[in-house]
């Protein structure tokens, strides 16, 4: 069977599974819609969290970035993994003990202010929409190549699927759907990685294969071969970095703090019964995430070696079918500048004839390595599972922010449970349509867009949550001031240096890079905005009244482990 037939079969089966689960686990109450009734087991929640966390950026883009950035791409691995540890140890158990459904709910209650809640809702919506734009682009990418429809049609198909199970099932439907999606995406990522590792190095473990010798009898290490291929084409050595140490630090910290402030990941810890279960599910999630994260660098190396050997100095007319299929999507472009019919893939921009989108590397990897068609189709199903699982979690954050935090808590407190449930579903429907628009007209490749969402979360939510848990004296004036200043600063920098809004539409590629403040890229500027948020919060807090005593007592209480009082009284 050809790739397209296999794709229809495998994607069709997985979609039928997701829809079946959504119908079986549809939400009948607001508690089931927002937090799956609070009765999910730690292992199931760990799998759902891992699927929620490993978005199209992790599945499609991360290995693509590492393929082209080499050493510099490691910031995404360090930042996202470190951030998850930070979230699991520092925030999740305390937020779970506080017992609120959403991050705006926590901020509204902790800072005893409707204004704080409103600011938090705005932050949640901006972060979630920025993040979901990347997911919808990922969905469009997969559909456009493997079902051979245009990207816009692919995005619309993805919107309909997400809408069905997110709106019908709420968090309950999403949780059990994400358990299935984790199984699909991890299987889809690992199978081709194991195949190619065996093919290139004879080692079935990709992580070891990446550091092993090539099985062609030369005894050469695979990484050494890639370094040699890169330098022959005029690129820097794959294992050398070009980013400044300060920028690497800034991006890593922004991704870490952003992870710990992401509303759609935090809400997952409210779906378990006890605080202890929140810790357990965080541990499971970290272990399950590590399987993909430790494999991504190996996939990047395999894909880059195979790509260079397949295309460099070869006749364009003799390229395999996958090359021409990706050309149709516009994500791979061959511009024969010297008219010799050969592909010049070199570092010199004047001479280079091949433009490759980062996001195709993982998806094209099995095709480049000539793996069986069913493996290629499986990767498509895995990419869709990754994008759709995160998109659903984000849409739930958007809908709950509007229905629970705005309508129930502020506009119409006497709304019935049924009315609130309908409001949540309508909000999710509108959110899907807006997300679809961003998917059709995306601002950059998937991981870049997602990295900006992390910067926004770090600049706005992270300080307010940390100070809300660990600093009793932090008051509403300080938190609101910090969130507003941090968010506005990050948005300004992002619009200026990523999209050229204030510079006549230029982009960083066209020369804005030289104007970066402190040499920090837009992806790393969340660190600076976060520090400014902390400084503003502390400064305003020092000159304004402390929070009421009952709020300080709540903060004291959420940091005391369960059962301590009973133990000490005997």
Tokens encoding 489: 């600063």
Residue 160's contacts (CB-CB under 8 Å, 6 or more residues apart) are none
| Model pLDDT, residue 396 | 75
| Model pLDDT, residue 196 | 92
Q: Is 213 helix (H, G, I), strand (E, B) or coil?
A: strand
Cα end-to-end span (Å), the chain:
72
Average pLDDT over residues 312-331: 81
Q: Is the per-residue pLDDT at 166 higher than 80? A: no
Average pLDDT over residues 74-95: 81
Please give the residue that has the higher pLDDT: either 68 or 442.
68
How many Cβ atoms from other residues are within 10 Å of residue 338's Cβ? 9
| Model pLDDT, residue 197 | 93
Distance between CA atoms of 328 and 150, rounded to whole angstroms?
A: 9
Average pLDDT over residues 60-87: 83
Average pLDDT over residues 140-153: 75
| Model pLDDT, residue 463 | 92
Q: Is the per-residue pLDDT at 476 higher than 80? A: yes
DSSP for residue 514: G
Exposed/middle/buried for 291, CB within 10 Å: 0-12, 13-18, 19+?
middle
- pLDDT tens sequence across 353-370: 888 888 788 888 898 888
Q: Is the per-residue pLDDT at 569 higher than 50? A: no
Q: Radius of gyration (Cα) for the chain, nearest Å?
A: 24
Q: Is the per-residue pLDDT at 343 higher than 80? A: yes
| Model pLDDT, residue 511 | 42
Average pLDDT over residues 60-83: 84
Average pLDDT over residues 134-142: 75
Distance between CA atoms of 551 and 540, rounded to whole angstroms?
A: 18
Percent of the chain with pLDDT over 70: 89
Q: Out of 204-213, 410-419, 513-522, give the one with best mean pLDDT.
A: 204-213
Distance between CA atoms of 53 and 142, rounded to whole angstroms?
A: 19
Give helix 74-86 / helix 245-260 axis angle, nearest 10°.
40
Q: Is the per-residue pLDDT at 381 higher than 90? A: no
| Model pLDDT, residue 380 | 85
| Model pLDDT, residue 553 | 86
Distance between CA atoms of 74 and 426, rounded to whole angstroms?
A: 40
Q: Out of 175-189, 415-429, 553-567, give the one with best mean pLDDT.
A: 175-189
Q: Is the per-residue pLDDT at 299 higher than 60? A: yes
| Model pLDDT, residue 448 | 60
Q: Is the per-residue pLDDT at 482 higher than 90? A: yes
| Model pLDDT, residue 169 | 56
Chain CA centroid to CA 173, Å: 20
| Model pLDDT, residue 514 | 57
Residue 197's contacts (CB-CB under 8 Å, 6 or more residues apart) are 203, 204, 205, 206, 208, 209, 210, 298, 302
pLDDT confidence band for 567 (50 / 70 / 90): very low
Q: Is the per-residue pLDDT at 560 higher than 60? A: yes
Average pLDDT over residues 505-533: 75
Average pLDDT over residues 54-67: 81
| Model pLDDT, residue 170 | 60
Long-range contacts of 551-559 (CB under 8 A, 24+ apart): 551/110, 551/112, 552/472, 552/473, 554/98, 554/109, 554/110, 555/110, 555/468, 555/469, 555/471, 555/472, 556/472, 558/94, 558/97, 558/98, 558/469, 559/94, 559/469, 559/470
List, in order of start, the domains of the chain with CATH numbers. 3-309+357-454 (1.20.1730.10)
| Model pLDDT, residue 73 | 83
Q: Is the per-residue pLDDT at 29 higher than 60? A: no
Q: Across the chain, what does the average pLDDT equal?
A: 80
| Model pLDDT, residue 509 | 44
Average pLDDT over residues 461-465: 89
- Cβ atoms of 440 and 133 within 8 Å: the answer is no
């Amino acid at each position: 069977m050809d790739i397209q037939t296999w794709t229809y079969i495998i994607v069709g089966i997985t979609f039928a599974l997701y829809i079946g689960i959504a119908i079986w686990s549809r939400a009948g109450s607001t508690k089931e819609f927002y937090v799956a009734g609070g009765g999910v087991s730690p292992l199931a929640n760990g799998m759902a969290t891992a699927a929620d966390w490993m978005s199209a950026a992790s599945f499609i883009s991360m290995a693509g970035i590492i393929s082209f950035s080499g050493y510099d791409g490691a910031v995404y691995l360090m930042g996202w993994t470190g951030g998850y540890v930070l979230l699991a140890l520092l925030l999740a158990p305390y937020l779970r003990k506080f017992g609120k459904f959403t991050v705006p709910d926590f901020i509204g209650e902790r800072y005893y202010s409707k204004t704080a809640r409103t600011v938090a809702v705005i932050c949640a919506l901006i972060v979630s929409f920025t993040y979901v734009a990347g997911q919808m682009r990922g969905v469009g990418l997969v559909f456009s190549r493997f079902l051979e429809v245009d990207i816009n049609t692919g995005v619309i198909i993805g919107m309909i699927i997400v809408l069905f199970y997110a709106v019908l099932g709420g968090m309950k439907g999403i949780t059990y759907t994400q358990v299935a999606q984790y199984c699909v995406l991890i299987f889809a990522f690992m199978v081709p990685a194991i195949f190619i590792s065996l093919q290139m190095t004879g080692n079935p473990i990709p992580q070891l294969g990446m550091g092993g010798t090539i099985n062609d009898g030369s005894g050469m290490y695979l990484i050494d071969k890639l370094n040699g291929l890169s330098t022959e084409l005029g690129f820097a050595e794959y294992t050398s970095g070009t980013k400044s140490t300060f920028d690497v630090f800034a991006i890593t910290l922004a991704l870490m703090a952003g992870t710990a402030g992401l509303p759609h990941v935090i809400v997952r810890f409210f779906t378990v019964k006890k605080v202890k279960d929140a810790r357990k599910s965080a541990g499971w999630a970290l272990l399950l995430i590590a399987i993909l994260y430790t494999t991504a660098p190996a996939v990047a190396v395999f894909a880059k070696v195979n790509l260079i050997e397949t295309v460099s100095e070869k006749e364009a007319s003799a390229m395999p079918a996958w090359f021409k299929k990706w050309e149709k999507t516009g994500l791979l472009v061959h511009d024969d500048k010297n008219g010799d019919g050969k592909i010049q893939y070199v570092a010199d921009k004047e001479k280079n004839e091949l433009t490759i989108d980062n996001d195709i590397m993982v998806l094209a990897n099995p095709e480049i390595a000539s793996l069986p068609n069913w493996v290629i189709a499986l990767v498509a199903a895995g990419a869709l599972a990754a994008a759709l699982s995160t998109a659903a979690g984000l849409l739930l954050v958007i809908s709950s922010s509007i229905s629970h935090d705005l309508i129930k808590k502020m506009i119409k407190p006497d709304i019935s449970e049924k009315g609130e449930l309908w409001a949540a579903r309508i909000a999710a429907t509108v959110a899907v349509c807006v997300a679809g628009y961003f998917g059709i007209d995306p601002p950059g490749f998937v991981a870049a867009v997602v990295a900006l969402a992390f910067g926004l979360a770090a600049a706005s939510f992270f300080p307010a949550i940390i100070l809300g848990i660990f600093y009793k004296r932090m008051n509403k004036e300080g938190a609101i001031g910090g969130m507003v200043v941090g968010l506005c600063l990050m948005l300004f920098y992002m619009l200026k240096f990523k999209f050229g809004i204030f510079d006549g539409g230029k982009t960083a590629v066209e020369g804005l890079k030289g104007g970066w403040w402190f040499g920090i890229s837009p992806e790393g500027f969340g660190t600076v905005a976060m520090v400014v948020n902390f400084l503003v919060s502390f400064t305003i807090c020092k000159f304004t009244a402390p929070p009421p005593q009952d709020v300080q007592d709540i903060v004291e209480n959420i940091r005391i482990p369960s059962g301590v009082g009973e133990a000490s009284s005997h």
